[in-house]
Amino acid sequence: MEIHRFLLGLLAFLHFCLPVAPQSTCKLKAKFNLSGYKDVEKKKVVVGGMFPVHKRIASSDGNTSRVPISSGCEGFNFRTFRWTQTMLFAIDEINQKDELLPNTDLGYVIYDSCFTISKAVEGTLTYLTGQDEAVPNYRCGNGAPLAALVGAGGSDLSIATARILGLYHFPQVSYSSTCSALESKFQFPTFLRTIPNDKHQSTAMAQMVLHFGWSWVGTIAADDDYGKYGIKDFKEQVEEAGVCISFSETLPKVSSPEDIQRIVDTIVESTAKIIVVFSSDVDLSPLVLELLRHNVTNRTWLASEAWVTSALINQPGVGSVLGGTLGFGVKRADIPGLQHHLLNLDPYADPLTEEFWETVFNCTLDYGRALRQRPRTLRGVPEGLCTGSESLVQLNNTYWDVSQLRITYSVYKAVYAVAHALHNLEHCEPGHGPFTRNECAYITNFEPWQLMYYLKNVRFKVPHTNEEVYFTDGDVDGLYDIINWAINSDGEVSYVTVGHYNGSAAPEDRMTIMNDSIVWNNEVLEPPRSVCSENCQPGTRKGIRQGEPVCCFDCIPCADGEISNTTNARECVLCSGDYWSNDAHDTCVPKVIEFLAFGEPLGITLIVISAFGALITIAVGVVFMGHIGTPLVKANDALLSFSLLFSLVVTFLCSIVFLGEPQHWSCMTSQVALALGFALCLSSIMGKAAVLMLRAQNLKAARSRAKAAAKAAAEAAANSGGPDVIVTTTNNNDVAATAAPEVDVLTFAHQRAITAMATLIQVVACTVWLILLPPHPVKNTSAQNIKIILECDEGSVVFICCIFAYDILLALLAFIFAFIARKLEDHFSEAKCVTFGMLVFFIVWISFVPAYLSTRGKFMVAVQIFAILASSFGLLTCIFLPKCYVLLVKPERNTEEMMRPRARPRDGTSTGTSASLATAATEVNATTASTAIDD
């Protein structure tokens, strides 16, 4: 029993205590999404590789509410894919050699860095772990040992990977990372490269600038260590030699249209003709496309090795912008058998090659995907399905172009450097090894630091080229070809080697360049000039730039009206009198004389319109003359109508006098004729409107009397009858007809007298104006600097304001009289016509004021003429068109009966007549009273 109880207690203790005990576990925090090539089965040693096969990582939505995943890559790069295939080709070639690693087959693990630091780090950690799931600080599995990493592409990527690999003393051999920062063995103890250090290239570029005497250059660098360090070393050297830097711009790593546009604007605005660019082709490509779009030419570009032979930059049409470029390319070589390898890919071998195939042929190898995307053809095969047997030879693609194997050759050398180091490690003689107690490392089980010893001390000759490769503190000799971008007859760019640079030679012997072989961007043999400031030509003056180098000054154009006719003039001279500076500001020339001429299109148009208006007015007068005895013409005072038509003819024709070069007679005639013409016109209308107004007042008074009489009669009838009397009033016609017809207070003679008096007042005023301060022609030089405007000066602002104010007064009186009489209704209402005519007149001249004040020169005259014509046409149309319509189209309405008043409407609105009240009396309607007596 005691044992039984003890066991039960122990089980209970374990049950409650074990679940809460702390546990030590490992948890995988992330799984990387990497693509590439892998062949490690039955391999004795594995070589790592890292290439930027894609240009960037795919963008993510930034959603943090779900499990993060490693981004994929996009933007396939055919040039870097060729580098990847070169490593595969080199490993396959080494495995087939009997003299190099005869007993060892090399395997490989190659990852795509996507030209991004994060992907490069992912690939490095995964490579070191030895499995798809990266476990930092651990090597998992029992596979073949890792030899070295060939990569990782750009300098930024290599710096990131070299810091990690250096922790484990793991060798790294780069084929394209040239940044001078990587030479520090304190930070990067295991980094080596088969491409020259950028300190050689920066020195070479500085020496080239000094060689051609360029003292004014611009710089552009990628926003990474490669660009920053390269440009920094270059600027230090040239500024020490007295060269001025025009601008320093940085290319964004993530393409930004705003930043690219800003850089383009800087290039366009700068006077520097030489632009030094330290950048990769991927970072530079957006800028080149924008330069092409803006057609930025006449610049000479100095290219770094990263883009000088890049097909990504050398696109069709780029020659207009980048033609004549000079650059430094790493050593070129031919690699026999490489092109055959590049053209004989198996598209189904791995996902990366499959993506390459689908990208280059714009099809898909996936039958199901092709079927979903496009319908089947008649043969049952979906459109867009790759056959897998397409020919790469037929494509003009940089992938299989082996004419400029420079970085590709550097990859080839890097792989062979690792292979030769492994070969030396494998063939170490026991007891004569380099390690402790003269031990050797074994090819099947060695430490990375052991291989690092052999890599640092490797020395070999590259197959097919016999170039001897060795490392001095991890670097190779600074050997470059100087490459010139020459444009052939087809407009295509060809790379021409015009010199060489050897960074290891004596300073005076480092650069050899054939100046006569260079084709510059302007297609001449002379190198372009690039100085901070050119000589100030005539038309400009020198201006000092505050805070800038002494070699820099501005050539400030002379202001309008000023000239300089010498080179490097200190001041500009002001033109005097009727002269003005020409476009070049180097000569004073007579100012342009401007006026609205008869022969120019605008003048001809205004003349035609004026003549047309006068002819139409005369035609109306002829119509009235032909119907002078008819009731309609007689009712409107024929003489007053003819005076109105005559005044309109005057206003139409006086507008022509405004045209042409102003003379004394034309200035006086145009203004006076306009004032008198409108005075006669408006006074005639005022006389007509006054009569109509008085008729309306008389009619209103007559109605009031008639209504009062009717009311009195009704009251009388009601008072004389009984309580059942009903009074009714019957109006068959207008109420006003109860009164006898009244004679107009103003007769035709009065109207004519009013018109004559009003016009005479204007004649007197104009006469005084012409005698005292007549209008005269003047030269207006203040309105526009480059022109002399010939115009008429009014002589006196007070006189002209008074004269036209008088016309406005006549117009207001005419409008008021016509507005009061507008309710005179018969078959022809002249009061309404006059009212509308005056409204048009006011609208035109009110609109004229702002239009006239906002114009200058000859267009002021055009606006004035347009206002005259528009107001004249408005009066002619509104007043005479209805009359002509009756006279010509509806002659049956031109009778005495039609001139009589119409019946009064039932709503009791006042009715009357404008024409009929002058020719006939209204009819009298009897008012009867009837009574009905109640039964």
pLDDT in tens, 854-896: 777 778 888 888 888 888 888 888 888 888 888 888 887 777 6
Structure tokens at 890: 């509806």
Inform me whether the pLDDT recorded for 934 exceeds 60.
Answer: no
Q: Is 369 exposed, middle or buried (0-12, 13-18, 19+ CB in 10 A)?
A: middle
Q: 441 near 430, Cβ under 8 Å?
A: no
- Please tell me the distance from the alpha carbon of residue 880 to that of residue 200, in angstroms, as a whole number: 95
First to last CA, the chain: 141
pLDDT in tens, 647-684: 888 888 888 888 888 888 888 888 888 888 888 888 88
Region of poorest pLDDT, from 451-455, 522-526, 801-805: 522-526
What's the pLDDT score for residue 374?
58
For residue 255, the tally of other CB atoms under 10 A from its CB is 16
- Please tell me the distance from the alpha carbon of residue 668 to that of residue 652, in angstroms, as a whole number: 17
Q: Which residues contact 390 (CB under 8 A, 6 or more apart)?
A: 357, 361, 363
What's the pLDDT score for residue 827?
45
Q: Which residue has the higher pLDDT, 295 or 568?
A: 295
- Please tell me the distance from the alpha carbon of residue 30 to that of residue 25, in angstroms, as a whole number: 16
How large is the average pLDDT for residues 102-120? 92
Inform me whether the pLDDT recorded for 27 exceeds 60.
Answer: no
Structure tokens at 645: 């038509």
DSSP class of 585: S
How large is the average pLDDT for residues 167-176? 94
- Size (the chain), residues: 935
Q: Which residue has the higher pLDDT, 786 or 221?
A: 221
Q: Which residue has the higher pLDDT, 880 or 221?
A: 221
Structure tokens at 324: 């004549």
How large is the average pLDDT for residues 622-635? 80
How large is the average pLDDT for residues 445-469? 93
Q: Which residue has the higher pLDDT, 477 or 68?
A: 477
What's the pLDDT score for residue 890?
81
Nearest-CA neighbor of 584 among 552, 538, 648, 641?
538
Structure tokens at 734: 């207008």
Residue the block writes with tokens 């115009």: 791
pLDDT in tens, 504-529: 899 889 999 998 889 888 767 788 98
- Tell me the backbone φ, ψ of residue 648, rounded to 5 degrees: -70, -35
What H or E segment, with its residue span, contains residue 512? strand 511-513
Q: 8 near 2, Cβ under 8 Å?
A: no
Its sign, for the CA torsion 885, 886, 888, 892, is positive
Res. 552 pLDDT band, cuts 50 70 90: confident
**DSSP state string for 440-498:** --BTTB--HHHHHHHHHT-EEE-TTT--EEE-BTTB---EEEEEEEEE-TTS-EEEEEE
Res. 906 pLDDT band, cuts 50 70 90: very low
Region of poorest pLDDT, from 343-352, 723-732, 839-848, 863-872: 723-732
How large is the average pLDDT for residues 476-480? 94
What H or E segment, with its residue span, contains residue 615? helix 601-626
Residue 676 in 3-state DSSP? helix
Inform me whether the pLDDT recorded for 921 exceeds 80.
Answer: no
Q: 229 near 304, Cβ under 8 Å?
A: no
Inform me whether the pLDDT recorded for 63 exceeds 80.
Answer: no
Buried b (16+ CB within 10 A) or exposed e, 813-841: bbbbbbbbbbbbbbbbbbbbbbbbbbebb
- Please tell me the distance from the alpha carbon of residue 699 to that of residue 705, in angstroms, as a whole number: 10
**DSSP state string for 630-674:** SHHHHHT-HHHHHHHHHHHHHHHHHHHHTSSS--HHHHHHHHHHH
Region of poorest pLDDT, from 113-117, 171-175, 327-331, 923-927: 923-927
Inform me whether the pLDDT recorded for 179 exceeds 80.
Answer: yes
Q: 906 near 923, Cβ under 8 Å?
A: no
Q: 897 near 828, Cβ under 8 Å?
A: no
Type of residue numbered 129: T
Res. 228 pLDDT band, cuts 50 70 90: very high
- Please tell me the distance from the alpha carbon of residue 557 to that of residue 310, in angstroms, as a whole number: 42
Region of poorest pLDDT, from 47-51, 100-104, 138-142, 572-576: 138-142
- Please tell me the distance from the alpha carbon of residue 268 to that of residue 246, in angstroms, as a whole number: 12
Q: 271 near 244, Cβ under 8 Å?
A: no
How large is the average pLDDT for residues 453-462? 95
Inform me whether the pLDDT recorded for 822 exceeds 50.
Answer: yes
What's the pLDDT score for residue 913?
42
What's the pLDDT score for residue 141?
65
Q: Is 6 left (phi over 0), alpha (psi -120 to 50) or beta?
A: alpha
Res. 912 pLDDT band, cuts 50 70 90: very low
- To the nearest whole number, what is the mean pLDDT of the chain? 82
List 594's β-bridge partners, or say none: 789
Q: 685 near 834, Cβ under 8 Å?
A: yes
Q: Is 290 exposed, middle or buried (0-12, 13-18, 19+ CB in 10 A)?
A: middle
Structure tokens at 548: 């800038």
Measured at the CA of 583, the angle between CA 579 and CA 585, to 5 degrees, comes to 70
Inform me whether the pLDDT recorded for 105 exceeds 80.
Answer: yes
How large is the average pLDDT for residues 207-228? 93
Structure tokens at 434: 């380099």
How large is the average pLDDT for residues 22-40? 69
Res. 65 pLDDT band, cuts 50 70 90: low
pLDDT in tens, 235-251: 999 999 989 899 999 99
Measured at the CA of 86, the angle between CA 80 and CA 87, to 5 degrees, comes to 100
Q: Which residues contact 734 (CB under 8 A, 6 or more apart)?
A: 703, 901, 903, 904, 911, 912, 922
Q: 234 near 218, Cβ under 8 Å?
A: no
Q: Is the bond preceding residue 152 a cis peptide, omega within 30 degrees?
A: yes
Q: Which residues contact 328 (CB under 8 A, 6 or more apart)?
A: 201, 204, 205, 303, 304, 305, 308, 480, 481, 482, 483, 501
What's the pLDDT score for residue 476?
95
**Pairing relationship of beta strands 146-150 and 45-51 according to DSSP bridges:** parallel
What H or E segment, with its residue span, contains residue 216? strand 216-222
Q: Which residues contact 37 (CB under 8 A, 6 or more apart)?
A: 49, 84, 88, 108, 109, 110, 350, 352
pLDDT in tens, 338-388: 999 999 998 888 889 999 998 998 888 876 666 666 555 545 567 778 888
- Please tell me the distance from the alpha carbon of residue 554 to that of residue 542, in angstroms, as a whole number: 6
Q: Is 40 exposed, middle or buried (0-12, 13-18, 19+ CB in 10 A)?
A: middle
What's the pLDDT score for residue 626?
83
Q: Which residue has the higher pLDDT, 740 or 140?
A: 140
What's the pLDDT score for residue 933?
29
Res. 138 pLDDT band, cuts 50 70 90: low
Q: 778 near 793, Cβ under 8 Å?
A: yes
**Pairing relationship of beta strands 274-278 and 216-222 according to DSSP bridges:** parallel
For residue 880, the tally of other CB atoms under 10 A from its CB is 24
How large is the average pLDDT for residues 143-147? 87
Q: Which residue has the higher pLDDT, 584 or 367?
A: 584
Note if the pTM is more than 0.75: no
